[in-house]
Chain A
Amino acid sequence: MSIQAGAEGRRDGSERFVVEAFGLTKRFGERVAVDDVDLQVPRGSAFGYLGPNGAGKTTLIRMLLGLTHANAGTMRLLGRPVPAERAAALARVGAIVEEPRFHAHLTGRENLTVIAAAREPEAHGRIDGALARVGLSHRADERVKRYSLGMRQRLGVARSLLADPELLILDEPTNGLDPAGIHEFRAMIRGFVAEGRTVLLSSHLLDEVEKICDAVAIVDRGRVVMQGSIAELARGSQQTILIATSDEERALAILAEHRAVASAAAEADGVRVRLRTDVEAEPVADDIGRRLVLAGLAIRRFEPARASLEQRFLEITSRLEEAA
């Protein structure tokens, strides 16, 4: 879809970030749920807010949307300060917070009518388009209590489209979806980004964030511990190379002398080489291969392992646990 006409002027606005939070803090009694968070979500991207359950992801989203107040810090949504200009900012924000909730006794269309009534007058005219976008046109006049969880998630997306949003905030949107539904959901989110919208996706699923998002912030125990593009974050993690040669002992000796190698150990399927985190993996891998060949070793396997976001995430969070 492109719910786009009339929106060009807004979408290519000069604001580089659609969400900006500085020093954002939320306490529940003694417990700090969100701890001095700085966050910048670039316009026109799919941005993952990644962290384990209980890390404070939903609380941060609730503060951004004005569902609960912050104890400290400042926020801007679409360039507008929140909560001072909350109404104007939220007029172009669509959101699903936790599981989408509806009046079960109303139909899907009626539920959208209720929300459209709270939005600008044009929102009512977007109902049919939004329902079609999520594939619910044929079930729109059934009561929501008959909807499956997946259908409710889709209806939640349709509801968030009534704002013709520049920013979509989706909190764990694939919870409860089957694999096919998850696949479709990913495609839909990428479609939103292709239209120039920004998607802020909160999730505890690394795989989901890695597949959907362009950039990510990793949050743990209320704090953003790392923020950047997926490639940048993965680059910071330890790279490994699995090497099988004709002489493992000589290979280990050569590797031990290499300055970029952090460790090398023989395993069942070859020698596992771990590189230092401060080196560029590709030229180092080239150099290692060259040295082994020059030493007269036959190389049967040479497999650099791409560091995944999952590895990086586990490294970061385990480091934090050790520090705690």
Chain B
Amino acid sequence: MNTTTITVELPRTRSRAPWRPRLVSAEFLKLRKRRGLVLSTLALTVLPMIVGYTVLLILHATDPARHGAAGGLENFSGSMEILWQLAVVAAILVGSTLGAGDLGSGVFRELVVTGRSRLALFAARVPAGLGLVFAVAGTGFVITATASTVLAGSLDAPSAGVLVGSAAWLGLVTGLALVLALGVSSALGSRGTTIGIVLGWQLVAMPLLLQFGVLGSLRKGLLGAATGRLEPAALLGGGAIVPMSLVAALAVIAAWTVAPLAAGAWRTCRRDA
């Protein structure tokens, strides 16, 4: 290292913006530079849609009598059923990485030493994570929507209303999965453990519990029941698994959003760095 003299001019006045997106940009930078993570999320959301519609297209082209058009509402609905589940997995991967990334690398300590509030450090993770998850899930959705519409042939194409409703619902379920994984990961400080717990809950335990009629109205407290209430009817799984009012569904979703974020924020503020 040298000891060359360098003069850096510093402004004499300091701006005190109440909210600066620089932290969010920094969080997003950390995420998008993880090639493995970005590739896996793309492999989960974009690749299956491309492969699926390519196969349908080839089948239709080779034997139109046995295989209908690749697009249309029915294929859109089937694709969305796959896409939302895989997008949830992608969101869990991103959320887990976001919550435990700084701790795992030891950089959390360096961030705390800046004096910036720990709550602000935690809060910046949410929009950054949503940005990546919405980008990859959105790309998968655009492929699905485009293929379903363009390749519909003589079949009914999904209407604009169905497309908008499906996109919003996909955004909701992936966003909630991200928030859940981020909160749990920030609380536990372990990416691997979080992936195991949240994946197991979202894809195995919760769907099973929803099927247990003996639980009665207790099932209304499950996130899957609330998101199921809001799922567009045009989709395969559309319609409520557990009958509940819209207000109740929104309340459950709010609770499942606030609780993990509160747990993650509390632990981030309290832990030794």
Chain A interface residues (CB < 8 Å from chain B): 1-7, 62, 65-68, 86-91, 93, 95, 97, 100-106, 110-111, 113-122, 124-126, 129, 132-136, 154, 157, 159, 163-164, 181, 184-185, 187-188, 191
Chain B interface residues (CB < 8 Å from chain A): 1-12, 14-15, 17, 20, 22-23, 25-26, 29-30, 33-35, 101, 105-107, 109-117, 121, 272-273
Give Cα A114–Cα B101 distance, bound, in whole angstroms.
Answer: 13
Q: Beyond A67-B273, A120-B14, A188-B3, is A103–B30 a contact (Cβ under 8 Å)?
A: yes
Residues of A within 8 A of B17 (CB): 121
Query: Nearest chain A CB to B269's CB is how many angstroms away?
Result: 11
CB of A154 within 8 A of CB of B1, answer yes
CB of A122 within 8 A of CB of B29, answer no
CB of B115 within 8 A of CB of A1, answer no
* Chain B binding surface, main DSSP class: loop
User: Which of the residues A88, A100, A135 comes within 8 Å of B2, measured between beta carbons?
Assistant: A135
CB of A184 within 8 A of CB of B112, answer no
User: Which of the residues A115, A135, A185 comes within 8 Å of B114, measured between beta carbons?
Assistant: A115
CB of B33 within 8 A of CB of A65, answer no
Closest A residue to B106 using CB positions: A101
- A sample of 14 cross-chain residue pairs with beta-carbon separation below 8 angstroms, ordered by A number, consists of A2-B6, A7-B10, A65-B112, A91-B115, A95-B113, A101-B110, A102-B110, A110-B33, A118-B26, A118-B114, A120-B14, A163-B114, A184-B1, A188-B1
Give Cα A47–Cα B207 distance, bound, in whole angstroms.
Answer: 61
Residues of A within 8 A of B26 (CB): 113-114, 117-118
Lowest 10 A-B CB distances belong to which pairs? Answer: A101-B106, A90-B115, A6-B10, A117-B26, A135-B1, A117-B22, A129-B8, A1-B6, A87-B115, A118-B116
Q: Beyond A5-B9, A87-B117, A118-B111, is A102–B105 a contact (Cβ under 8 Å)?
A: yes
Closest A residue to B6 using CB positions: A1
Closest B residue to A67 using CB positions: B273
Closest A residue to B117 using CB positions: A87
CB of A118 within 8 A of CB of B10, answer no
Q: Beyond A113-B29, A185-B1, is A1–B112 a contact (Cβ under 8 Å)?
A: no
6 more A-B residue pairs beyond the given contacts A1-B5, A118-B121, with a C-beta to C-beta distance below 8 A: A6-B9, A101-B107, A116-B22, A117-B23, A133-B3, A188-B1
Give Cα A126–Cα B25 distance, bound, in whole angstroms.
Answer: 18
Residues of A within 8 A of B109 (CB): 67, 97, 101
Give Cα A122–Cα B6 distance, bound, in whole angstroms.
Answer: 16
CB of B8 within 8 A of CB of A1, answer yes
Residues of B within 8 A of A86 (CB): 115
Residues of B within 8 A of A100 (CB): 110
CB of A129 within 8 A of CB of B6, answer yes
Residues of A within 8 A of B106 (CB): 101-102
Give Cα A223–Cα B210 distance, bound, in whole angstroms.
Answer: 60
CB of B107 within 8 A of CB of A89, answer no
Query: Nearest chain B CB to A149's CB is how many angstroms away?
Result: 13
Residues of B within 8 A of A103 (CB): 30, 33, 101, 105, 107
Residues of A within 8 A of B30 (CB): 103, 106, 114
Q: Beyond A67-B273, A115-B110, A163-B114, is A1–B7 a contact (Cβ under 8 Å)?
A: yes
Give Cα A91–Cα B116 distance, bound, in whole angstroms.
Answer: 8
User: Which of the residues A106, A132, A164, A191 comes within 8 Å of B10, measured between beta carbons?
Assistant: A164
Give Cα A184–Cα B25 distance, bound, in whole angstroms.
Answer: 35
Query: Nearest chain A CB to B115's CB is how many angstroms away?
Result: 3
Q: Beyond A87-B115, A118-B23, A133-B6, is A67–B272 a contact (Cβ under 8 Å)?
A: yes
Residues of A within 8 A of B117 (CB): 87
